[in-house]
Structure 1
Amino acid sequence: MTKAFIGIVTVVIIACLGLPTLLLSSLLGSGSGACSLAASPTMSSSGQPADTGQWDTEQLAIATTIIEVGVTKGVDSWGQTIALAVAMQESRLQNLPHLGSRNNFDSLGPFQQRPSQGWGTPSQLADPAYQAGKFYDKLKTVPGWQTMPLTEAAQKVQLSAYPQAYTKWTSDAIALFDQHRTGESALDCSDMPFGNAEPALRNPDGTWPDESCSIHPDPTTGTGCITPRTLHLVQQATAAGFPKPGCYRVDDHGEHPKGRACDFMMTTRGEASGAQKAQGDAMAAWAVANADRLGIMYVIWFRMIWTPAQGWHTYNNPYGGNDPSGWHTNHIHLSVA
Structure 2
Amino acid sequence: MPESSPTQTRRGRLLRRGASFLVLLAVAGYLAVQYVTGGTGDPACEVASAGGDGASYEFTPEQAVNAATITAVGTARGLPERAVAIALATALQESGLRNITHGDRDSLGLFQQRPSQGWGTAKEIQDPAYAAGEFYDHLVKVSGYSRLPLTVAAQRVQRSGYPEAYAKHEQDATLLAAALTGHAAATLTCEGRQAATPTGGPDAVRAALVRDFGREVLTAAGATVTLKAPATPTPTPSPSPTATSTALRTVTLPVSADTDTAAGTTARQRGWQLAHWAVANASALHIENVSYAGLRWTAGNTDSEWRPVATPKGTAKGTDAVRIVTAQ
TM-score by length of 2: 0.41
Greater Rg by CA? 2
